[in-house]
Chains A and B, each alone.
Chain A
């Protein structure tokens, strides 16, 4: 079978991005280790990047890629800060999980 015939259309990429996004969401809600939760957030960001790029290719607009560029930069900054926070928290107890931060309990 000639695989080249099955040309992936834009919607395929978008669907993939959607699924990736869903997986990331589930991961945020299910995992308790803060670092892994963060990684799932990164998954979601990547899904968004993918959809940006796919649409930029289909609409012949460079602005989509510019957006991805900036998302990448901001994601990097966000990771830095987030990890800093996690480090501050984890310093006290190395097995702290997201469930321990329940001070806001009404």
Chain B
């Protein structure tokens, strides 16, 4: 079974190729069904691989399937190879599983869209790229997937490209990602020059055995972190994620909640031995950036009015949590939170998509309200997602968030405080969203009066094809916590499963105050969640206190606009300077060479007088010189 693991990325690739060739003929809904079947098939194979891996002993869970030799260039030897180990299988499971559910949902959501087949084309390509990213055996295959998901993200965000804002958002995403990609490339160069190979086993073994110097490891780790910041929307480079909501909701769910944005977290976890060997302040930087991002995004989410923007900032915030975990050495907790986040964030996004669909593409929450009466199932699943993200036990999000906070407390109490405040805010703004959308008075009557000409403008429930994935995901959001229960070492399923991957980097907190008092911290987490929920209910439902949504928060602390202003102003001047340098010096040098050649040949042209006698004279001169040379050399 393990040898057939190459099927996992191959199936979505096949889907992509088939739709590429026959998409128009397949049309709706067959293109969508095909794409869904391919992804589902990939999921089935992944499950098979999972069980095959499980049957092996823990140390033995490391299998490489080499497809072909990719780059045999001198000392650089890179294979197109797939690495099957606990981490990659975990990622592949939820990528293909949630991916299949989202494909199914999208068949309903994109119904009637003229570019239906193209949507699934890109979706399948995305699944393929993401799978190559996580299954790659070396940094270059991962980078292939990395770039692939960046490109697909661009395609899908600007899917409705006739909208200016969508096209711009796509470009912004791609360009911001590019900055991160630079970091990954530098890291790859450094790794190759230090270790001589790009394969994970090679690099990680070098790190573990001490061959990798701390300085080099630090450089590699920092560069990879820059790449992770770009892809996973951390503080300096998060700008693209809120704008990426211009894409259709299934895109937001798949790419910006469950999969692509988690690539950074995955990469950091994959390279944890390198992180472990680098200087300690690298981990501190990662943790601080994660915490700052989490808090920042949470504050902004409090003031958003677009239903998807709240979820976008929430994603940024949760990703910050994951990086906070990594920075504290809690890789298992980070992966755990990644998985549960995938479940409930995808659920929330798909739910919001159902709301938008039912509200005839109205996204402003101020025009919603009391929707639970018209869309009961959507409301129910959305509420499950809300409880999960707010951190209410026994839902999944509670366990994972608590695990992170546990490790953070053991690492740095200041950051723990930041994490706690963020958790409070998370509960607060999510509750606010639920109340504004599903409870309260129905504010959509005004809208339906305006749009009376459209006929039935009453919001309605979505078709089963969109509801079924919601139900499945809510089940996962409820039960996902079982992966890693903190009660005893025996219930640490995820930790045991991931052990061969993270053993060198994982921080051990046995014996710390946090570990001994984990039930106390558990209680604190529950209290925080309840406080947040209560606060939001007080403000928005009971109207006991005024709603605090200052404009500065709504504008994201003016960060985005200041970046745009900088790029447009001094940035643009700098860039045109660089462009001028390129045109003048670089191009000038190249063109200058051509010009010199031209003028030289122009000068030399004068030799060709065209007169035969002149040629004869030169011929004679040549003969004389030749003969004289022979004479002098003694040959004659």
Asked if chains A and B are in direct contact (CB within 8 A), the reply is yes
Contacts of B609 in A (CB 8 A): 102, 105
Let me know if A106 and B613 touch, CB within 8 A.
no
Contact of B605 among A29, A98, A99, A106 (CB under 8 A): A106
**How near does chain A come to B2, taking the closest CB pair, in angstroms?**
72
Q: Check if B611 sits within 8 Å of A29, measured CB to CB.
A: no
* Total B residues in contact with A, Cβ cutoff 8 Å: 12
Q: B606 — which chain A residues lie within 8 A by C-beta?
A: 106
A-side contacts of B620, CB under 8 Å? 25, 29
A4: B residues at CB distance < 8 A: none
Tell me if B636 counts as interface (CB < 8 A to partner A).
no
Q: Given B605, B610, B613, B616, which contacts A103 in the complex, CB threshold below 8 Å?
A: B610
Q: Specify which chain A residues have a CB less than 8 angstroms from the CB of B73 in the assembled complex.
A: none
Q: How far is the CA of A30 from the CA of B614 in the complex (A)?
A: 9
Please, which residue of chain A has its CB at the minimum distance from the CB of B615?
A: A104
Interface: B612 (CB within 8 A):
yes
Shortest Cβ distance from residue B616 to the other chain A in the assembled complex, whole angstroms: 5
* Listed residue (B607, B609, B611, B620) with the most chain A CB atoms within 10 angstroms of its CB: B611
Q: Is the CB of B613 within 8 A of A32?
A: yes
B610 near A98 with CB under 8 A, answer: no
Contact code string B517-538 (vs A, CB < 8 Å = 1, else 0): 0000000000000000000000
Q: Are B613 and A102 in contact (CB under 8 A)?
A: no
Give the docked Cα–Cα distance between A105 and B606 (Å). Answer: 8
**Are B613 and A28 touching (Cβ within 8 A)?**
yes
Tell me, in angstroms, the Cα distance from A104 to B607 when the chains sit together: 11
A98 interface neighbour in B607, B608, B612, Cβ under 8 Å: B612
- State how many angstroms separate the Cβ of A6 from the closest Cβ of chain B: 27
Distance in Å from the Cβ of A70 to the closest Cβ of chain B?
A: 23
* Minimum CB distance partner of A97 in chain B: B613
Scan residues 16-64 of chain A and give those whose CB is less than 8 A from a CB of chain B: 25, 28-30, 32
Number of A positions contacting B (CB below 8 A): 13
Report the bound CA distance from A103 to B610 in whole Å: 6
Question: How far is it, in angstroms, between the C-alpha of A98 and the C-alpha of B610 when the chains are bound?
Answer: 10
Whether the pair A106, B611 counts as a contact (CB closer than 8 A) is no
Interface centre among B605, B607, B613 (most CB of A within 10 A): B613
Q: Does A3 contact B (CB under 8 A)?
A: no
Contact of A105 among B610, B613, B616, B617 (CB under 8 A): B610
- Residues in A with CB closer than 8 Å to B617 are 29
Question: Who on chain B is nearest to A103 by CB?
Answer: B610
Residue of A nearest to B601 (CB): A106
| Closest-CB distance, B606 to chain A (whole angstroms) | 8
A101 touches B (CB below 8 Å): yes
Residues of B within 8 Å of A99, CB to CB, are 611-613
CB-defined contacts of B613 to chain A, threshold 8 Å:
28-30, 32, 98-99
Bound state CA distance, A99 and B610, in angstroms? Answer: 8
Q: Mark B459-473, 1 if CB is under 8 A from A, else 0.
A: 000000000000000
Q: Name the contact of B610 in the complex, choosing from A25, A28, A30, A104 (C-beta under 8 A).
A: A104
Q: Residue among B610, B611, B612, B616 with the most chain A CB within 10 A? A: B612
Q: Which of A25, A28, A104 contacts B608 (CB 8 A)?
A: A104
Choice from B607, B612, B616 contacting A106 with Cβ under 8 Å: B607
Nearest residue (CB) in A for B608 is A106
Type the 1/0 row for B587-630, where 1 means its CB is closer than 8 Å to any CB of A: 00000000000000000011111111100110010000000000
Interface residue ranges, B against A (CB under 8 Å):
605-613, 616-617, 620
Q: A25-B620, A98-B613, A99-B611 are in contact. List 15 more A-B contacts (CB 8 A).
A: A28-B613, A28-B616, A30-B613, A98-B611, A98-B612, A99-B612, A99-B613, A101-B610, A102-B609, A104-B608, A105-B608, A105-B609, A106-B607, A106-B608, A106-B610
Sampled A-B contacts (9; CB under 8 Å): A30-B613, A32-B613, A98-B612, A99-B612, A99-B613, A103-B610, A104-B610, A105-B609, A105-B610
